[in-house]
Amino acid sequence: MADRTAEARRRELGGFLRSRRHRLAPRDAGITPGPRRRTPGLRREEVAAAAGVSLTWYTWLEQGRVNGVSRQVLDALARALRLGPDEHRHLLELAGDPAAEPAAPATVSGEVRALLDMVEPNLAHVVTRCFDVVAWNAPVDALFGDMPDPPSGEDLNIVWMMFNHPWMRARFPEWEAEARWLAALLRNEAGRQAGNPRFQRLVEGLTATSAEFREFWAEHDVTPFTPSERHYSHPAIGRVTFRYMKINVENEPDLSVLVHYAPEGGAAAAALARLAETARAPAR
């Protein structure tokens, strides 16, 4: 398992470096392109020179053939590639120690299930780091009441549904922005989850079934989770905007509670109240 984990990390690291190199314009890196230049981004030798490493070593790094990279070199690569803070952190994670053996399947405690009930009529569901949904409350059932059951043996996964289920597209008026955001969130976990078979199986499945996921995933965009707004469309309440936030479960580090809520007195709050009234089932 350790060897497979290290190999997966090296592949991810190489792919991430290539994507950032291709994306960085020569002028942004202080390089004046000549008239015959055909490379849209930077050349390997230009990144290697800027980071103070040999071209051969950097080529091996992109090819996933290097074990162990010092923090000093990683920081130099981040500067050479003009990485932002989130991308720099992602680079460090990809080059870090191999992931531990995957933990046993997460269990949702009674306290967390009670929290799901307490936040009603707001929507709340519990997800793993791979975005498998493991519990939710009644308003979620109402908003996604036509959600199909997953095939036998498959997990209920937010990213999978976003890219493979037509009913999910109907729920999000700004589907492409949502899908890109989810792909970047999943990529943000790549460094931590590289040795997790569930993560690998999910990405392989999405890559095989969705051309749009392949396109977004190949861009290597990464983003951390930050509270913001999401726009939904529902046959009973029309288009509505909710705020959302994530609550980490301290004694279950693989789990988070995602809460979608609305300030009292507004149209979104009224829509949530109507959803609660039409909820068909208690929290599962």
**For 96-107, how does the pLDDT look when each residue is reduced to its tens digit (9 = 90+)?**
743 334 445 567
CB contact at 8 A, 200 and 242: no
| SS3 category, 246 | strand
Through-space distance between the first and last CA atoms of the chain, rounded to whole angstroms? 34
CB contact at 8 A, 99 and 193: yes
Alpha helices in 24-154 (DSSP H): 44-51, 55-62, 71-80, 85-94, 110-118, 138-143
**Which two structure tokens, joined as six digits, stand for 102?**
């995957």
**Which two structure tokens, joined as six digits, stand for 173?**
């008026």
Distance, in Å, from the CA atom of 235 to the CA atom of 97, rounded to the nearest integer, reads 48
- The mean-pLDDT minimum among 104-108, 138-142, 183-187 falls in 104-108
User: Does residue 35 have a pLDDT over 80?
Assistant: no
Q: Half-sphere exposure (CA, 13 Å, Cβ side) for 209?
A: 13
User: Which is higher by pLDDT, 55 or 156?
Assistant: 55
pLDDT of residue 266: 79
Per-residue pLDDT, averaged over 199-223, amounts to 92
C-alpha gyration radius of the chain:
21
Give the model's confidence band at 60: pLDDT under 50 very low, under 70 low, under 90 confident, else very high.
very high
CB contact at 8 A, 9 and 195: yes
**Which two structure tokens, joined as six digits, stand for 278?**
């039409």
In the sheet that holds 133-136, the strands lie side by side as: 133-136, 123-128, 255-261, 238-248, 228-234
Q: How many residues does the chain have?
A: 284
**For 243-266, how does the pLDDT look when each residue is reduced to its tens digit (9 = 90+)?**
999 999 887 888 999 999 887 777
Q: Concatenated DSSP letters for 212-228?
A: HHHHHHHTT-------E
Phi and psi at residue 69, to the nearest 5°: -130, 130
User: Does residue 153 have a pLDDT over 60?
Assistant: no
pLDDT of residue 194: 75
Distance, in Å, from the CA atom of 169 to the CA atom of 58, rounded to the nearest integer, reads 41
Strand partners, 244: 228, 260
Distance, in Å, from the CA atom of 94 to the CA atom of 190, rounded to the nearest integer, reads 7
pLDDT of residue 245: 94
pLDDT of residue 103: 45
User: Does residue 218 have a pLDDT over 90?
Assistant: yes
Alpha helices in the chain (DSSP H): 2-23, 44-51, 55-62, 71-80, 85-94, 110-118, 138-143, 158-164, 166-171, 175-188, 190-193, 197-209, 211-218, 267-278
- In this prediction the pTM is 0.75
Distance, in Å, from the CA atom of 183 to the CA atom of 89, rounded to the nearest integer, reads 17
40 sits in the region (left: phi over 0; alpha: psi -120 to 50; else beta) called: alpha
Percent of the chain with pLDDT over 70: 88
User: Which is higher by pLDDT, 193 or 182?
Assistant: 182
